[in-house]
Each structure stands twice: as C-alpha cells, then as structure tokens.
Amino acid sequence: MSAAPLVGYSSSGSEDESEDGMRTRPGDGSHRSGQTPLPRQRFPVPDSVLNMFPGTEEGSEDDSTKHGGRVRTFPHERGNWATHIYIPYEAKEEFLDLLDVLLPHAQTYVPRLVRMEAFHLSLSQSVVLRHHWILPFVQALKTRMASFQRTFIGLEVTSGHAQFLDLVSEVDRVMEEFDLTTFYQDPSFHLSLAWCVGDARLQLEGQCLQELQAIVNGFEDAEVLLRMHTEQVRCKSGNKFFSMPLK
C-alpha cells in the first residue's frame, strides 16, 4: 500500500485579519444663519498621530509585500472578520524531515515555492463575519461538532473521507444559518505542504508530482508518520481562535 498521494492545486483563500480600528469623524458642517459655509477640507492625519494607533483604518494598507505577495479576495472593511474552520496538524520531526526532502525537489520545478508555516486541513472556505456574529457562530459550530469522533488523515485523505464529509456537512449548516458561503462540492481533503504566488499547476503536474510521490513512497515509515490523530476542530476569526473538541 502506498503512502498518501500528493496533489497540486490552486487556492483562492484570503488573508486572515481582525478589525479593531476606528475612523476619524468629519465635522458636522454646521454654520451660523446667513453666513456662507466654509468649504469642507479634510486635512491629512500627521504621521506622529497615526503611529499612536497602528490598527486604525486611517493607517491601514493592503500591502501584499507584508504577507508574501498574497492578495485578499475580498477587501478589508470596518467590522468584518475573515473566518476559517479547519483541523490543525501538529507536525512532528519525522514529518518535517520528509518535507525537507520534498520541498527542495519541488523547487527545481517551481523555485518560488515556500514551505507552509503551519499545517491544517480545511473544512470551510474563508468567509466574512461581522464582529457581533462571532460568538453565536462559534457556539453553533460547537453544537454541531459535539457528536463527532476523532480520526486519522494523511497528505490527501484516502480513508475516512465519508467522516470528513459529515463534518463539512455540519459546518455548511452553520454557514447557511448565517447566510455564508458553504464549502466546495465534492471536496478533496488534503494537508498543504507549500505554497507560491500565482498558478503553478502546469509545472507541478505530471513528472514533478510523480517524482515527489516516489520520494514519499520510499520514505521510511511514511504511512505511519503521515497519519494524524485529530482531536479538535478550530475556528479562526480575525486574531481570535476557538476550539471544538471531538470525542
């Protein structure tokens, strides 16, 4: 039996961020009766003031250079929190050893590939929540997740697929309650190992993936180290994290 299959894919995930800024309030435009109102002019806020409030909207910029060139698929708006539901994977040393072999080989085909800083299996698309929705949304998720058992996964799920579909089905029900986008139809569950800006599927498909799969298949105890004991589902909303234990 071979180890978990490797896949190349394109993703349209958005940058996670929180909203805790404030907006300067313009003048009320009042003037004395009989006088011509002065023209309104909004003067720029001095840098010394902006630096006092680094999280304010006046000073916020969608600078893609700060997050590897990635660009949001939906704009930042005051009160919106990017939200994502996933299963975390705590990488052990043996897994990182395998990745240290895989990534340099893949970079011979796509040099701009970058190793993931953290590993997870997605159960939802990235969606936007209003701040006052977060707690009821998480509570609804906890209710849906309460009855699920733990399971095992590899790079791409080759067993237990039906159980993950059941998880997604419950997540989708919560999304529908809040009028949010549900997960993909007929999803393929996988653990992302590396990423790059742009669509590099043509370079990765075919010979590259075959060679990478051969490395995985030949790696000592690959089937065992690529299993994961899943104990919880997490929801990340902006900079807030919520955990839902599985039985």
Mean pLDDT of 182-197: 90
Q: Encode pLDDT of 16-25 as tens digits.
A: 333 333 333 3
Question: Which of 78, 53, 71 shows the shortest CA–CA distance to 128?
Answer: 78
**238 close to 18: Cβ distance less than 8 angstroms:** yes
In the chain, the N- to C-terminal Cα span, in Å, equals: 29
Residue 42: Cβ-neighbour burial (10 angstroms; 0-12, 13-18, 19+):
exposed
Query: How far apart are the C-alpha atoms of 146 and 68, rounded to whole Å?
Result: 36
**pTM of whole model > 0.75?**
no
pLDDT at residue 149, rounded to an integer = 75
**Domains present along the chain, CATH in parentheses:** 77-146 (3.90.1140.10), 148-246 (3.90.1140.10)
Mean pLDDT of 175-202: 91
Indicate the range of 44-48, 98-102, 107-111, 122-126 predicted with least confidence.
Answer: 44-48
pLDDT at residue 136, rounded to an integer = 95
Active site residues: 120, 190
Q: Encode pLDDT of 195-243 as tens digits.
A: 998 889 899 989 999 999 999 989 887 777 778 778 899 999 999 999 9
Residue 181's pLDDT band (boundaries 50, 70, 90)?
A: very high
Q: Which residues contact 86 (CB under 8 A, 6 or more apart)?
A: 120, 121, 122, 123, 124, 233, 234, 236
**Count of positions (residues) in the chain:** 247
